[in-house]
Amino acid sequence: MSINALITTPEPRNLWVRALLMLLMCAAFQLAAWILVLPAVVQLLFAIFNDEANRRLQSFGSSLGLYLTQIASFMTFTTEVAPFPFNDWPEVADT
């Protein structure tokens, strides 16, 4: 048996399925971008009135930013891994 017979390549995802996922991810990107506005405004109000940022909003904003990055990577064919809801929501490492 030759070495070439043992090497198998994974089947590429059907391009039509990927196109449908890209359309869904495009809508998710737009929705997430609009959702990002709300914690940004609330965070600004926290900073104005409390002189410090809210840690939970910081964490949520960072994870939402990672989600937008994952969508952009999927949309530009940088990765084949589809983002949430097809995988886990991105978590931010505590700093």
Proportion of the chain in helix, strand, coil states, percent, rounded to 5: 65, 0, 35
Q: What is the pLDDT of residue 91?
A: 87
Measured between its terminal Cα atoms, the distance across the chain in Å is 53
Note the pLDDT tens digit of each residue in 27-39.
Answer: 999 999 999 999 9
**Residue 7 in domain:** no
Q: What is the pLDDT of residue 4?
A: 56
Domain that holds residue 34: 27-95
**Residue 14 in domain:** no
**Residue 61 in domain:** yes
Q: What is the pLDDT of residue 64?
A: 93
| Ranges in the chain, pLDDT < 50 | 10
User: Which H or E run includes 41?
Assistant: helix 15-50
**Residue 72 in domain:** yes
Note the pLDDT tens digit of each residue in 56-65.
Answer: 999 999 999 9
What total number of domains does the chain contain? 1
